Each structure stands twice: as structure tokens, then as C-alpha cells.
Amino acid sequence: MTVRTRFAPSPTGYLHIGGVRTALFNWLFARGQGGQFLLRVDDTDAGRNVTAALQPILQGFRWLGLDWDEGPEVGGPCAPYFQSQRADRYLAAVEQLLATGAAYRDFATVEEVQAEREEAQREKKRFIYSRRWLAETDEQAAAFEAEGRRGVVRLRMPRNGVCAFQDLVRGDVEFEWSLEQDHVIRRTDGTCLYHLASAVDDHDFAITHVIRAVEHLSNTPRQIFIAKSLGYELPAYAHLPYVAAPGSSEKLSKRKLSKYMQNKQFKKIFDEGVAIAERIRLLVTPETFSPVVVDFYREVGYEPAALMNYLLLLGWSLDDHTETFSKEEMIRQFSLDRINRSEASFDPQKLLAFQERRMQVLSVVERSSRVLPYLERADFVDNPATEAQRIRVQQVVSAAGDRIKVAGDILSYTEFFQADEEIPYDEKAFNKRLRKEGVEPLLRRFREQLGLVTPFDAVTLEGALRAFVEAEGIKIGQIVHAVRVAVTGKAVGFGLFEGLALLGREACVARIDLALKRLAE
RNA sequence: GUCCCCAUCGUCCAGAGGCCUAGGAUAUAGCCCUUUCAAGGCUAAGACACGGGUUCGAAUCCCGUUGGGGACGCCA
């Protein structure tokens, strides 16, 4: 039998970190088994604007390379893959359950059920519906309707015995049937609910392995009940531990962003991301752009491979030392039985570490291609960039070395793409390095030296500067910092000689002049 | 409240009775390199939640306690 797994996103407009991790595991398992991975859209209650809300999610999948064999936009033999379009299937299933007695029509009002629920609370017992307004026959149903009641369909859950099944992650699992509720499967308005839909779809789509987050573990008995009552063969289940918030064991949630911001490193990563977004004029809201959402990493310039690698190791491991996995290796090595049972907290800092390593193995040309769109969008080069600009970008990227950790970091080095009079000065650095006794004449003399350096490259510049230092009888630090601030406006940056060479003689001299002028003001 | 689950460095993992004086990664600190910042190299500090068993022997098995978490919808 061909392995078939699925991921079922709700069209919410963004892809959650925990969600992709679940999707990744589904995808890896399917690919590793030579099976298929499908996407099914859980839009049972949304209806409106699904297409728009789905786009960011599909985009996230594409970016990560999580390709789906069947689902939205690619179709497939089990189409449609939108739950909103499968109502007839669900309704038919409800009729079947009604016919076999696995479900019943119920005419309780919401208030009546609520009253029972509260009573159970008071008695410290688990709420089980009394079935008081159950309609066994059409006559009864008609009578209830005559009272103005409107019916739902509930599952007639077993009231004794246990529901036992094997979970591929958690081992043998048991739930007492008597503690299960008579869940509603069809609303008063005739629409069906998720659990029914899910069981039907998993069967219709021939899903063999249901791999999902552990919050669904307690929903499994009712789905098993539905599936069995409908005569379906059961899929295998694997419940993944949830992804926890940074530094905590609470489930990661997009709603608790302000809480995560108390984590210094989380906030730092967020702030840096926002800074990049602002410079490329990306409209962001915390809902769609935060380290909890996959889009954040794409927009800021992470490598998809880094995110994938990090997520893979969040709850799974091969052994005690392997931590770099290519996509192929992941697929080959992944196994459900090495998934952890306990929750794992999401650590964007460690993700950054994986990102840095990925960046380091990319060539200058590759890194340049990642970085270029940021310069284009922030208007530091033409859009699209000219050939000369591309070469320029490669030179800058080369000089940057591993300082560019995420592609958007290029925007921290824009002094190489700006006109001389446009570069802003870091006020503190300017005061510290330039407004100092003896710096001005030194800088003037160095500026003259610069005119004589030929060729104007890093090696020659270094020789010239060292000779200058010797002649002046100063320490190298006394001139280097001053020149760096004068030429780049900043206290930190590339190696000075690479930087100067990159800018060229004219720009260097012009910028030193500008700095001197400013010093005189 | 009821049911269920989880428990090794701050964090992510390794560990399926002796290989554990508990290993790796990340983060942190110090040192080296050095024109700054990165990167890199070296070093340090850092954990088996607790209590009982079982066993010659327990991080590993069992029970309990504590702590943390999840599920309890005419949401998905």
C-alpha cells in the first residue's frame, strides 16, 4: 500500500512555525516511503476569501520546497481538496451514521446543553450529555420541531469499554469510551463539523498515516468511532509533541507575541527583521510578520534549507552528533520512531545559527543573488539591477565575508551603494573617533597619501597605511578607526582595506573631505 | 474541575540496566587571532526534578510526589 500523508491548513493568511514542522514531518515521511503528500484545505467555516488567505501558506510551502502531490492548485484524483466543497460527502456520511444508529438527531437547545455542562462542572464530573432531547423516530422529531426546536446530529458514543489504538510516536494509547461526549457532527444549519469531515476526507483521500500535533490525540477516539461506524479502515496515527514558546513549555501561539518579546534574543531577532522589512517597504503586522510565522524568515532572507534543518531537529534526531542535513539526507534518514514524546521549545537564536552555517557554504555568486533583491527593493540599485551593479554587489558580498547572516543584512552595508554626501554618520562613533585631539591633521595627511596609492587595492592600501603609521610614529588603531568612520560613517564594518578598495580612490578622498568639513563645523 | 500526557545542561538533542567521572549542538564567559565588527581556534561554567522500590548495578524499569503542559465547543 502506498503511503499517503496529508497536512490540512486552515486558510488564515499565515503559516505558523508549529504548523510547518508538522507539515515537514508529514512530507518527509511520505517522501521517504516513496509515498504521496497531500494538502487539504480546512475551510469549513470560512468560505469567504479563501483563495487570498491561502496564498501566503502555499507560498510558504513552495519556498521551503515542500511540494504536494495533490491539493489546491495542483488538483488530483480525489478533488476537490477544499472541505467547503465536499459538503455532500459529509452529509451522506451523516445519513449513513444515522441509518446505522451510530448517530442520532438531537433537539436540545444550546442553553439546555450548557446547563447540563455546568451541572457536571459543579459535581466535578466530566460532562456527558443526557440524550434527553434525542429523537429516535420521525414522529418524535416532528414533535420537537413543533415546539420550535431545531435539531443537530450527534454521535452515539459507546458508554463502556475502551478505545485502544497504537500511536506511532506515543505507543499504546487508551481512552475510556464512557468519558467521550456525544459530539455534534451536523449543526442546526445543516453544515458539518471538522471531526466528521476530517474522518471522511482521510478515507476518501486514502490517507494511510495521520501525522498531526498532539492536541488532536484526544480527538482521535471520536474520529475512530466515526471511521469504524462508516466501515472505513483506520489510518495509522502519529501524534507529534507540540512546539513550545521560546524558553517555555507552553504551546507556541501567535497570540502571545508580547510575552515572547520579553525574551531578549527573540526581541532582537524580531526587531532586526522589522528593520529589514521597513527598508524594503514591506507592510507588516505582528500577525503576519513575526518570528512565529514562516513568512518572517522568507522576507528577512533566511535560507529555506536552514529553516528545514532546524525544524527537523526540533523533536527529532538521528543520533547524538549529526545536525546538518540536506533535503535528500533528511528524506533518507527521517523516521517516525525517533520523534520525541516531549514538547520542544522554539529557539529562533539556534535557528539563526543554522542559518549562519548555511550562508557560509554558499558561494559569493549565490549569496549575491540572495542579497540583490533587497538592494533593488530598497532602491540602492536599479530594479532590475544593471550588470555593473551586479558585479558591484558581488564585490561587496565578497568583502562582507560571513558578516551577512541573513540576506537582508546587506542593508546594513549600504554605504557602498550610496553617494558620498548621502551616507549618514553614526554620531557616537564620529565623536569618539574623529572629534579627538590630533585626529584632524592626521586624517589630512592620510588623505594626501591616498592620492599616491597605486593600484588602489586592498594589499597596496594596507602597505601604504602601515608605512604611513610608521612614518607618523603612531599606532595603527589611531588612524584606522578615524578613517573607517570618515569613509563609512560607522564604527564597525568590513576590513578597512577591503572597504577602501571597494569604494575607490575618489569616493574615499571625497568622504574624508566631507568628514573634515563636518569636523570643522 | 475531569481525563490524558511529559520530565537529562538556559535551549535543542544523545542516552533503550553496566560503555556515564552523562556526549554533541546552541547560548553564555574568558583567552588567542586582529584595524573595528563578524568568522575562526582554545578553555570554562552548566543537567539526569524529588522520594521510594526492583537489581550485584538505574539517567535508563516500577510506584508515588512535585512541577510543567494538553484536551474537554453547534472551533479547526
> Per-residue pLDDT for A408 more than 80?
yes
Cβ A255 vs Cβ A267: under 8 Å: no
Task: Give the pLDDT confidence score for residue A380 in this predicted structure.
Answer: 97
Active site annotation includes A254: yes
The pairs formed by A108-115 with CB atoms below 8 angstroms and a separation of 24 or more are A108/A132, A108/A133, A109/A149
Task: Give the pLDDT confidence score for residue A97 in this predicted structure.
Answer: 97
b/e map A414-447, b = 16+ CB within 10 Å: bbbbeebeebebeeebbeebbeeeebbebbeebb
Cβ of A484 near strand B (distance < 7 A) = yes
CB-count burial class (<10 Å; 0-12, 13-18, 19+) for A282: middle
> Per-residue pLDDT for A70 more than 80?
yes
Instruction: Report percent pLDDT > 70 for chain A.
Output: 99
> Per-residue pLDDT for A121 more than 60?
yes
Interface ipTM: 0.95
Q: What is the mean pLDDT of residues A482-494?
A: 96
d(CA A208, CA A211): 10
Instruction: Report percent pLDDT > 90 for chain A.
Output: 87
Q: pLDDT per residue over A268-325, tens digit each? A: 999 999 999 999 999 988 888 999 999 999 999 999 999 999 999 999 999 999 999 9
With CA of A198 and C1' of each nucleotide, the nearest comes out as B76
A43-47, A89-93, A332-336, A402-406: the lowest-pLDDT one: A43-47
> CA(A338)–C1'(B15) in Å?
13
With CA of A347 and C1' of each nucleotide, the nearest comes out as B11
A398 dihedral zone (left: phi>0; alpha: psi -120 to 50; beta): alpha
Cβ of A184 near strand B (distance < 7 A) = yes
> Per-residue pLDDT for A103 more than 60?
yes
Q: What is the mean pLDDT of residues A56-84?
A: 96
Cα distance between the two ends of chain A: 80
> Per-residue pLDDT for A241 more than 70?
yes
> Per-residue pLDDT for A366 more than 90?
yes
Residue that is written with C-alpha cell 487570498 in the block: A52
Asked if omega into A424 is within 30° of 0 (cis), the reply is: no
Task: Give the pLDDT confidence score for residue A404 in this predicted structure.
Answer: 97
Task: Give the pLDDT confidence score for residue A448 in this predicted structure.
Answer: 94
Model's pTM, two decimal places?
0.95
C-alpha A217: how far from chain center: 23
Q: What is the mean pLDDT of residues A100-115?
A: 94
> Per-residue pLDDT for A49 more than 80?
no
Task: Give the pLDDT confidence score for residue A216 in this predicted structure.
Answer: 94
> Per-residue pLDDT for A52 more than 90?
no
Cβ A192 vs Cβ A152: under 8 Å: no
Task: Give the pLDDT confidence score for residue A325 in this predicted structure.
Answer: 96
> CA(A349)–C1'(B20) in Å?
29
Q: Report which of A304, A349, A350 is spatially closest to residue A330, judged by C-alpha positions.
A: A304
DSSP state string for A37-48: EEE-B--TTT-T
d(CA A475, CA A38): 65
Task: Give the pLDDT confidence score for residue A265 in this predicted structure.
Answer: 87
> Per-residue pLDDT for A48 more than 70?
no
- Report residue A43's pLDDT band, with 50, 70 and 90 as the boundaries: confident
Task: Give the pLDDT confidence score for residue A143 in this predicted structure.
Answer: 93
Strand B contact residues in chain A (240-269), C-beta within 7 Å: 242, 244, 247-251, 265
- Report residue A50's pLDDT band, with 50, 70 and 90 as the boundaries: confident
> CA(A56)–C1'(B7) in Å?
37
d(CA A162, CA A178): 8
> CA(A251)–C1'(B65) in Å?
25
Task: Give the pLDDT confidence score for residue A46 in this predicted structure.
Answer: 55
With CA of A189 and C1' of each nucleotide, the nearest comes out as B74
- Report residue A45's pLDDT band, with 50, 70 and 90 as the boundaries: low
Task: Give the pLDDT confidence score for residue A23 in this predicted structure.
Answer: 97
With CA of A250 and C1' of each nucleotide, the nearest comes out as B69
Q: What is the mean pLDDT of residues A365-394?
A: 97
Q: pLDDT per residue over A192-206, tens digit each? A: 999 999 999 999 999
Of the residues A124, A228, A251, A254, which is catalytic? A254
> Per-residue pLDDT for A47 more than 80?
no
Backbone angles phi and psi of A267, in degrees to 5: -65, -40
Task: Give the pLDDT confidence score for residue A386 in this predicted structure.
Answer: 97
Task: Give the pLDDT confidence score for residue A288 in this predicted structure.
Answer: 87
Q: What single-letter DSSP state applies at residue A13?
A: S
Average pLDDT along chain A: 94
Q: What is the mean pLDDT of residues A240-263?
A: 90
